[in-house]
Amino acid sequence: MVQEIATEIGFSSSSLNLVTVLGVTSTLGILAWRLWKQKNAYKSLRSLPSPPQHWLLGNIPQVLAAVKEKKFFQLLFDWSQQLGPMYVYWTGQPVLILSQPKVIEETIVNGMRDGSLVRSQRASKAWNDMSGPILLGQQGTEWQWRRKAWNPEFSSSSLSKYVEIISEACEQVIEKIRETEPSTEIQVDPLFVELTMRVISCLVLGIPVDTKAPTPEGPPLNVAKVYEAISVLGYRFLRVATGEKSWMKYLPTKNSRDYWAARQYLEEFITPRVDLALQMREQNKTDLGKVSYLFQESMLVKIAAKEPNYNRESLIGESVELLLAGTDTTAHTLSFAVAELSLNPRVFQQAQAVVDQVWQTQGTINTESFKELSYIRAIIKETLRLYSVASGSISLEAQREIVIEGQVVPPGTKIFWSMLAAGRDPEVYSRPEEFLPERWLDKSKEITQLPMIDFGSGSHRCLGEHLSMLEATVMLALLLRYFDWELAKGRSSLEQLQQNLLIYPSDRMPVRFRLRR
**332 closest CA partner among 190, 512, 221, 484:** 190
Q: For the segment 401-450, what is each residue's pLDDT rounded down to a tens digit?
A: 999 999 999 999 999 999 999 999 999 999 999 999 999 998 765 555 67
pLDDT at 173 over 90: yes
- 3-state helix, strand, coil split of the chain in percent (to 5) is 60, 10, 30
β pairing state of 414-417 and 94-98: parallel
**104 closest CA partner among 460, 383, 464:** 460
Beta-carbon contacts of residue 272 (< 8 Å; ≥ 6 apart): 217, 218, 219
The whole-angstrom separation of Cα 236 and Cα 126 is 8
- pLDDT given at position 147: 95
Evaluate whether 305 touches 297 at the Cβ level (below 8 Å).
no
CB count in 10 Å sphere of residue 372: 16
**509 closest CA partner among 191, 70, 194, 226:** 191
The whole-angstrom separation of Cα 505 and Cα 466 is 24
pLDDT, greater one: 172 or 235: 172
Evaluate whether 424 touches 453 at the Cβ level (below 8 Å).
no
Q: How far is CA 335 from the centre of its chain?
A: 16
Q: For the segment 30-65, what is each residue's pLDDT rounded down to a tens digit?
A: 545 455 555 678 999 999 999 999 988 999 999 999
Instruction: Indicate the burial class of 93 (C-beta count within 10 angstroms; 0-12, 13-18, 19 or more).
Output: middle
pLDDT at 468 over 70: yes
> How confident is the model over 258-277, as a mean pLDDT?
96
- Nearest 5°: phi and psi at 233? -65, -40
DSSP, residue by residue, 45-111: GGGS-----BTTTBTHHHHHHHHHTT-HHHHHHHHHHHH-SEEEEESSSEEEEE--HHHHHHHHHHH
The whole-angstrom separation of Cα 233 and Cα 324 is 9
pLDDT at 150 over 50: yes
> How confident is the model over 158-181, as a mean pLDDT?
94
The whole-angstrom separation of Cα 115 and Cα 69 is 35
Q: What is the 3-state secondary structure (H, E, C) of 282-333?
A: HCCCCCCCCCCHHHHCCHHHHHHHHCCCCCHHHHHHHHHHHHHHCCHHHHHH
Which of 96-110, 287-301, 440-454 shows the lowest mean pLDDT across its residues?
A: 440-454
Q: For the segment 308-363, what is each residue's pLDDT rounded down to a tens digit?
A: 999 999 999 999 999 999 999 999 999 999 999 999 999 999 999 999 999 998 88
> How confident is the model over 170-176, as a mean pLDDT?
96
pLDDT, greater one: 449 or 226: 226
Give me the percent of the chain exceeding a pLDDT of 70.
90
Handedness of CA 218, 219, 220, 224 (dihedral sign): negative
**280 closest CA partner among 253, 304, 256:** 304
- pLDDT given at position 18: 53
Evaluate whether 513 touches 177 at the Cβ level (below 8 Å).
yes
When pLDDT is cut at 50, 70 and 90, the band that residue 279 belongs to is very high
Evaluate whether 112 touches 265 at the Cβ level (below 8 Å).
no
**380 closest CA partner among 472, 264, 454:** 472
CB count in 10 Å sphere of residue 497: 19
- Tell me the CA distances in angstroms from 442 to 423, 445, 449, one per residue in order: 18, 9, 10
pTM for this prediction: 0.89
- pLDDT given at position 15: 52
pLDDT at 396 over 50: yes
> How confident is the model over 471-479, as a mean pLDDT?
97
- Nearest 5°: phi and psi at 261? -65, -40
pLDDT at 1 over 80: no
**298 closest CA partner among 164, 220, 160, 204:** 204
The whole-angstrom separation of Cα 478 and Cα 64 is 41
Instruction: Indicate the burial class of 212 (C-beta count within 10 angstroms; 0-12, 13-18, 19 or more).
Output: exposed
The whole-angstrom separation of Cα 429 and Cα 127 is 33
CB count in 10 Å sphere of residue 343: 15
In three-state secondary structure terms, 497 is strand
Evaluate whether 89 touches 79 at the Cβ level (below 8 Å).
yes
Evaluate whether 51 touches 79 at the Cβ level (below 8 Å).
yes
Mean pLDDT for the chain? 89
Evaluate whether 88 touches 390 at the Cβ level (below 8 Å).
no
pLDDT, greater one: 368 or 320: 320
